[in-house]
Amino acid sequence: MTASLHFTHGPSFSVVEVTALAFLEDAEPALLEIAQRTRETGTRRLLINLVDVVGTFGPEQHHAIGLMAYRHLSHLEKVASLVPPDKLTRVSEAAARSQGMELRVFTQLMDALDWLVK
């Protein structure tokens, strides 16, 4: 099964809402599509809403996703990822940030938006 992505583009940032099952093999195609759409629209700041992803990833998968995010989304100034509180690990954030990417994971929408527009 592939991820379903819904994009909304605004003047300050764009939002992509991801609906999917938590399978690592679906992460890279989703990130490739996100990269293409953000390049097409000139997006510089992005909120990725992962609240509707069903299931969980282990630490190794989170690390791999963080590196994939860096590989495909490093053209963006800032990426905020929104997850449910019970899925917060910060492993993907640490992996992406270790490569120099401005990616932060949040559990509260307003916190993510505040950081994204600063």
- The answer to whether 83 and 50 have CB atoms below 8 angstroms apart is yes
Residue 2 — pLDDT band, cuts 50, 70, 90?
A: confident
Domain ranges for the chain = 14-117
Q: Could you report the per-residue pLDDT of 36-90, keeping only the tens digit for each?
A: 999 999 999 999 999 999 999 999 999 999 999 999 999 999 999 999 999 999 9
CA angle 104-71-13, nearest 5°?
A: 45
Q: What's the CA angle centered on 40, arms 36 and 45, to 5 degrees?
A: 80
- pLDDT tens across 75-96, in order? 999 999 999 999 999 999 999 9
Look up the pTM and report it: 0.95
Domain 14-117 has CATH 3.30.750.24: yes
Higher pLDDT, 2 or 31: 31
Residue 69's Cβ-side half-sphere holds a number of Cα atoms within 13 Å equal to: 30
